[in-house]
Copies of this chain bind each other. A is one copy, B any other.
Amino acid sequence: MLNEVLFRLEKGITVRIDIAMLGYGKVGRALARLLLRKVDVLRDQYDLTFRVTGIATRSRGCAINPAGLDLDATLAAVEAGDPLDGLHQGDPLDDTIAFIKTCPADLIMEATWLNPRTGQPATDYARAALGAGRHFVTANKGPVAFAYRELSALARQNGVGFFFESTVMDGAPVLGIGREALLATTVRRIRGVLNSTTNYVLTRLEEGASFDEAVAGAREIGVVEADPSTDLEGWDAAVKIVVLANVIMGADLRPGDVDRTGITGITSAEARAVLQAGERIKLVCEAVCTEGAVRASVRPVRLPLSDPLSQVSQTSSAVTFETDTLHHLTMIEGNTDPTTTAYGMLVDMINIARGRYT
């Protein structure tokens, strides 16, 4: 943006951030590629340079190099199925917590596997990183859904940022809107269609596929978790609505508090009949504030076609905020991929670098 460029020209002080990355799966590698692609833009528009001083993976070992790893070499190694250990300098490390404490980094960017029932191990990673005075950016819903108040207090105590834009709707600035735009307002209700797998399955049921065919299709396009019940029974959606309720409505819910019904058992005949009646079935997450208390639910709902949430198909997602000052504000994200998620992490990194966390 133009005003950012001019801002730089007046300030002219370049900052370097040393980054440690946790997780080097699809999202982690997309982040590495995005960082490489945006080197010039970060330097020219935001006075920001970076080194990646360490990467810890689940199955490919880890590497620390205080002078900065060669990101291209790390990508090549992991994609060839090789471990990263050959790039590591220093003593061997026991585990990821040891990596967090050892790796010389200002910022830890985390995109590891999540157990949606416990929020682990990412919540422990966040605790270790923030407790050690490192900024923490995560694409992982766990730490936010299970420990938002604790972790944000820890971040403040240590004077660092704790940002997590990509946890809900990938790179779409749903949480940034809460932080920067839904100010001095009472958010009365948040409604969302936030889970890709169920959205894909429901669309396929409308098209006439059987439930099993639809789930198989979701697996083919790679949106479904290893354990599909996480999506189909509404756990993923429950974790996301808890993130929104806790961060934007000031609630203190846990995923287990969500009144949750999945989509298992919905038939193609039922989905088609609803469509013929001018409506669509969507797995709707909702958080409602009534008399100061926030209640959250996830359940299949018949939505009229005039509701923007009904129009969300396949892997798109959407959320509607209702506040005392903005009656209906809807955000829709279409065509997501790992780069979209990585982009939310990049925006978090820039916003931390320019002090938006204070």
Residues on A lying within 8 angstroms of B by beta carbon are 1-7, 10, 34, 38, 41-42, 45-46, 149, 152-153, 156, 165, 171-173, 176-185, 246-248, 250, 306, 308, 311, 313, 316, 325-337, 339-340, 343, 346-347, 350-351, 356, 358
Contacts and interface: CB of A to CB of B under 8 A. Distances in A.
Contact of A325 (B6, B46, B340): B340
A180 B180 contact: yes
Contact of A152 (B6, B152, B340): B6
Given A6-B152, A325-B340, 5 more contacts: A38-B184, A177-B177, A326-B343, A327-B337, A329-B334
A313 B304 CA distance: 14
A183 B351 contact: yes
B181 A173 contact: yes
A331 B331 contact: yes
A326 B171 contact: yes
Nearest to A174: B181
A208 to B, nearest CB: 18
Contacts of A165: 181
Given A171-B326, A325-B339, A183 B46 contact: yes
Given A176-B180, A325-B171, A334-B328, A156 B46 contact: no
B346 A184 contact: yes
Contacts of A336: 327
A181 B311 contact: no
Nearest to A355: B355
B308 A46 contact: no
Contacts of A327: 334-337, 340
B171 A176 contact: no
A340 B326 contact: yes
A308 B332 contact: yes
Contact of A2 (B1, B3, B250, B340): B250
A176 B339 CA distance: 22
B329 A331 contact: yes
B1 A179 contact: yes
